[in-house]
Chain A
């Protein structure tokens, strides 16, 4: 049997930890819980992450990089800004559907337990890949004359706050329909709110 590389093992820990933290909560989940689920000793776990806080920060970076890379692919496509909005919404909702632990972790652990992340995750430090890609998206949309030129955070909050809110409702089982049913209407709402005003 092929030996599992350190990188593969690290990625298994990340995926298990994401699930446990987002299902059970950050404080309740212990390192022995994670090690057990991965199938490794607690001692060996510390070879990968030296503390729970460090693991927590790595997870935010992991999610941010995943989102950043996904949005970068969309940014690099030769399509209209309206279509890009639809693609970003689709990517985000697909992620919430197929990898709910990623968004759950972001919303329920990262945003709700800021004391864990402290100075190391201040400002943009842990979310830079994702926020930078959204900046590129907005900048490009305005440069093409398809989006209204306004304050970045006003636009960013409208876009991501809306998506986060929908995923939250989905997580709470409040939405009557599956998330995918809302892709078109939500994309249209976002684009209508952000598009160039005549």
Chain B
């Protein structure tokens, strides 16, 4: 008979080429202690666990859930063992492999040093590519730079509770990635009436027209499940960088790419002709309330 500890899903957290941001993010999960109590942490680079890296890289034990953080570089070694062998070993018996963050999902930032060699676990950007193509059914991509702590929390809880996780075509959980980052943005009214944020750091105004915001074409629930339970990039005044999409990172994250003043990319699946027509109409009207600071408008009327 198994002990209670053994019945918990056994988790191994391995790192490829990474900046550790997904760990930092995960440490901010408010329910972390309760979540960890439901897992049997065999190895984690920062958290308390039952095995050392030396033991893990003997490749003699197995896990139920493998979390892989960072870009996959087949030549990278951990404890002098090729990460390629480590991933292959643990993925073999694991029921789930979580590619954590945009690097593990699509290659992300750390793909740049070797764009043809480095990749995500099953994607290089949006092309099928990587070491786990043959067992891709068990791979869950949690893209984001870093990933939202609640998204990993959701995924692990679903696994612990043996619930089915539905995935999109890029293997991301639909529950988390069917929304756009635009949904729930507090600047939506400015987007509707095409009022730009005149400069960086303002609470009022939309960041889509000049400041490079990718929220209307980025699958992420950042404005639905808030960061640190209080805010999001766009709410705080930073444009969405589209960090959950396979083409992240792009250049010039703080400026909107335009062709003759016309946004190169328009909101997801909206025909450009229709978008430009709507924009033209909306821009015709000047709405005093939306022109300056809301607090001033209320007090100076």
8 Å CB contacts to A: which residues of B262-294? 262, 264, 272-273, 276-277, 280-281, 283-285
Taking CB as reference atom, which chain B residue is nearest A121? B284
Shortest B247–chain A CB gap in Å is 16
Shortest B211–chain A CB gap in Å is 18
Shortest B253–chain A CB gap in Å is 19
Q: Does A125 contact B (CB under 8 A)?
A: yes
8 Å CB contacts to B: which residues of A123-141? 123-125, 128-129, 131-133, 135-136, 138-141
Q: A122-B284, A123-B283, A124-B283 are in contact. Are A143 and B261 (CB under 8 A)?
A: no
8 Å CB contacts to B: which residues of A119-169? 122-125, 128-129, 131-133, 135-136, 138-143, 147, 149-153, 155
8 Å CB contacts to A: which residues of B162-208? none
8 Å CB contacts to A: which residues of B232-268? 258-262, 264
Shortest B125–chain A CB gap in Å is 20
Quick check: B280 and A131 within 8 Å, CB to CB? yes
Quick check: B283 and A142 within 8 Å, CB to CB? no
Taking CB as reference atom, which chain A residue is nearest B275? A132
- Among B258, B264, B276, B281, max chain A CB count under 10 A is at B276
Q: Which residues of B contact A133 (CB under 8 A)?
A: 273
Quick check: A149 and B276 within 8 Å, CB to CB? no
Quick check: A128 and B272 within 8 Å, CB to CB? no
User: In the complex the two chains form, what is the Cα distance from A128 to B41 in whole Å?
Assistant: 61
User: In the complex the two chains form, what is the Cα distance from A72 to B259 in whole Å?
Assistant: 18
Q: Which residues of B contact A149 (CB under 8 A)?
A: 258-260
Give the interface size bracket for B toward A.
10 to 19
| Residue of B261, B273, B277 touching A151 (CB-CB under 8 A) | B261
- The digit string for A155-185, where 1 denotes a CB below 8 A from any CB of B, is 1000000000000000000000000000000
Taking CB as reference atom, which chain A residue is nearest B262? A139
Q: A132-B276, A136-B272, A136-B273 are in contact. Are A125 and B260 (CB under 8 A)?
A: no
| Residue of B259, B272, B277, B284 touching A123 (CB-CB under 8 A) | B284
Quick check: B260 and A123 within 8 Å, CB to CB? no
Taking CB as reference atom, which chain A residue is nearest B271? A136
User: In the complex the two chains form, what is the Cα distance from A23 to B288 in whole Å?
Assistant: 41
Quick check: B272 and A139 within 8 Å, CB to CB? yes
Q: Which residues of B contact A147 (CB under 8 A)?
A: 260
Q: Which residues of A contact B276 (CB under 8 A)?
A: 132, 135-136
User: In the complex the two chains form, what is the Cα distance from A150 to B262 in whole Å?
Assistant: 10
Taking CB as reference atom, which chain B residue is nearest A129? B277
Shortest A156–chain B CB gap in Å is 8
8 Å CB contacts to A: which residues of B203-242? none
- Among B259, B283, B285, max chain A CB count under 10 A is at B259
Q: A138-B260, A143-B264, A149-B259 are in contact. Are A128 and B273 (CB under 8 A)?
A: no
Shortest B32–chain A CB gap in Å is 46
User: In the complex the two chains form, what is the Cα distance from A168 to B277 in whole Å?
Assistant: 28
Shortest B27–chain A CB gap in Å is 43
Shortest B275–chain A CB gap in Å is 9
Q: Which residues of B contact A143 (CB under 8 A)?
A: 259, 264
Q: Which residues of A contact B260 (CB under 8 A)?
A: 135, 138-139, 141-142, 147, 149-152, 155
Quick check: A125 and B258 within 8 Å, CB to CB? no
User: In the complex the two chains form, what is the Cα distance from A131 to B278 in whole Å?
Assistant: 12
- Among A132, A150, A151, max chain B CB count under 10 A is at A132
User: In the complex the two chains form, what is the Cα distance from A135 to B272 in whole Å?
Assistant: 10
Q: Which residues of B contact A135 (CB under 8 A)?
A: 260, 262, 276
Q: Which residues of B contact A155 (CB under 8 A)?
A: 260
User: In the complex the two chains form, what is the Cα distance from A93 to B147 in whole Å?
Assistant: 57
User: In the complex the two chains form, what is the Cα distance from A59 to B284 in whole Å?
Assistant: 20
Shortest B259–chain A CB gap in Å is 3
User: In the complex the two chains form, what is the Cα distance from A128 to B262 in whole Å?
Assistant: 15
- Minimum-distance CB pairs A-B, first 9: A123-B284, A142-B259, A124-B280, A152-B261, A138-B260, A139-B259, A139-B262, A152-B260, A132-B276
Can you pick out 9 interface pairs between chain A and chain B where the beta carbons lie within 8 Å of each other? A122-B284, A124-B283, A128-B277, A132-B273, A136-B272, A138-B260, A147-B260, A151-B261, A152-B261
A residues adjacent to B (C-beta < 8 A) = 72, 122-125, 128-129, 131-133, 135-136, 138-143, 147, 149-153, 155
Known: A138-B262, A139-B264. 13 other contacts (CB 8 A): A72-B273, A124-B284, A125-B284, A128-B277, A128-B281, A136-B273, A138-B260, A139-B259, A142-B259, A142-B260, A149-B258, A151-B260, A152-B261
